């Protein structure tokens, strides 16, 4: 299924006469699309790091194309076909939305780290007598911040719709479609990074374009830790839920140490993702400047 879907996108993407830099950009785009096949949200830290690496390569390639004016070639083909300045302005507006998303997700990361530090400090000072209240308060704050981010994501859905699955051949054979597709996969990766910390799940049997995830799942007890293997946020919530039921049990201190270990791992993961996010933010900002320069010089 993954190969069929990706091949269809490849077939309907850029014309064979595209500038080599644009072809390279398209190849990076298709790698990201292919990586979403048959995956689930939230991604693990390793999978999400891979997504960010692919996204950075895509943005670097697109930036090279824009900076070296390969973009002019794409516009030259489209201007004669009636491309409108309004469509390019839509792309520019979309870049602002993505930059705002990066800022919102960064704030969510900071909120998670603050909450982890509070509960870590309490557990180290008080042992089995720690107070989970501050962590719960932090989770509620995160819930509000995540909900706000998902509301912002709806603007992108309204802005572009499901471009990757339209059967409009004229749009597929256009540089404009490439620009919109890059913004779409950027959205998908940013959404994944938000789901990683917000404890949100969604089945993705194929690349779905605009599968917005708007439900924040509260922490709950499960029958066994094997059901949440690989997801640090869930493992921490699961461990804390267990401790709330058995603070005085003989192995409470061992469970506390296990929770603290997972918290440290999550903190390290978030710090790494923060660096990746900052890099993507800078590339998005740079490419927006390149795009503005090209548009201003061409129209």
10-43 pLDDT, tens digit each: 444 444 446 788 889 889 998 888 877 755 555 6
Do residues 60 and 284 make contact, with C-beta atoms less than 8 angstroms apart? no
List of E strands, the chain: 40-41, 202-203
Q: What is the CA radius of gyration of the chain?
A: 22
Give the span between the Cα atoms of 94 and 90, in whole angstroms.
6
pLDDT at 59: 95
At residue 288, the pLDDT reads 94
The pLDDT of residue 58: 96
Percentage of the chain exceeding pLDDT 70: 62
Does 183 or 141 have the greater pLDDT score? 183
Total domains, the chain: 1
Residue 254 lies in a domain: no
Among 110-114, 144-148, 212-216, whose mean pLDDT is lowest? 212-216
* 241 inside domain: no
- What pLDDT was estimated at residue 148? 78
pLDDT of the residue at 273: 92
- Between 132 and 13, where is the model more confident? 132
Give the pLDDT confidence score for residue 74 in this predicted structure: 53
Q: How high is the mean pLDDT of the chain?
A: 71
State how far the Cα of 157 lies from the Cα of 182, in Å rounded to an integer.
Answer: 14
Q: Residue 233 falls within a domain, yes or no? A: no
| Residue 144 belongs to some domain of the structure | yes
Residue with the larger pLDDT of the pair 101 and 207: 101
pLDDT digits (tens, 9 = 90+) for 252-295: 777 778 888 888 888 899 999 999 999 999 999 999 998 888 77
Does 165 reside within a domain?
Answer: yes
CA dihedral of 175, 187, 64, 297, whole degrees rounded to 10 = 60
Q: Which of 52-66, 136-150, 180-194 has the lowest mean pLDDT?
A: 136-150
Quick check: 207 pLDDT over 50?
Answer: no
Based on the number of CB atoms within 10 Å of its own CB, is 3 exposed (0-12), middle (13-18) or buried (19 or more)?
A: exposed
CA-to-CA dists, residue 55 to 7, 151, 194, 299, angstroms = 20, 23, 15, 29
Structure tokens at 63: 């930036």
pLDDT at residue 272, rounded to an integer: 93
How does residue 132 score in pLDDT terms, banded at 50, 70 and 90? low
Decide: 110 and 195 in contact? Cβ < 8 Å.
no
pLDDT of residue 204 exceeding 50, the answer is no
Supply the range of the domain harboring residue 25. 2-213+272-298
pLDDT of residue 289: 92
pLDDT single digits (tens) 70-104: 556 555 555 544 456 777 788 888 899 899 989 98
Q: Is residue 180 part of a domain?
A: yes
* pLDDT (tens digit per residue) in 281-290: 999 999 999 8
More confident residue, 100 or 163: 100
């Amino acid at each position: 299924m993954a190969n069929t879907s990706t091949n269809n996108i490849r077939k309907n993407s850029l014309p064979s006469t595209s500038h080599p830099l644009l072809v390279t950009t398209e190849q990076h785009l298709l790698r990201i699309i292919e990586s979403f096949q048959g995956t689930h949200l939230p991604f693990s830290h390793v999978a999400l790091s891979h997504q960010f690496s692919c996204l950075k390569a895509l943005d670097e390639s697109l930036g090279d194309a824009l900076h070296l004016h390969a973009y002019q070639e794409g516009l030259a083909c489209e201007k004669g076909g009636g491309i409108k300045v309004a469509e390019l302005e839509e792309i520019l507006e979309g870049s602002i939305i993505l930059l705002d998303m990066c800022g919102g997700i960064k704030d969510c990361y900071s909120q998670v780290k603050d909450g982890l530090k509070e509960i870590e400090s309490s557990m180290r000072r008080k042992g089995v007598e720690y107070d989970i209240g501050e962590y719960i308060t932090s989770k509620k704050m995160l819930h509000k911040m995540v909900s706000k981010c998902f509301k912002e994501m709806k603007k992108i859905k309204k802005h572009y719709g499901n471009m990757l699955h339209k059967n409009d051949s004229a749009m597929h054979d256009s540089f404009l479609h490439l620009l919109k597709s890059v913004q779409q996969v950027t959205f998908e990766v940013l959404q994944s990074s938000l789901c990683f910390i917000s404890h949100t799940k969604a089945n993705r049997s194929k690349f779905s374009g605009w599968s917005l995830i708007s439900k924040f799942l509260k922490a709950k007890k499960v029958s066994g830790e094997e059901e949440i293997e690989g997801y640090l946020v869930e493992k921490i919530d699961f461990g804390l839920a267990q401790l709330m039921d058995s603070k005085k049990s003989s192995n409470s201190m061992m469970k506390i140490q296990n929770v603290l270990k997972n918290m440290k791992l999550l903190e390290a993961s978030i710090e790494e993702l923060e660096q990746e996010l900052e890099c993507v933010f800078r590339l998005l900002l740079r490419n927006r400047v390149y795009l503005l320069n090209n548009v201003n010089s061409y129209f």
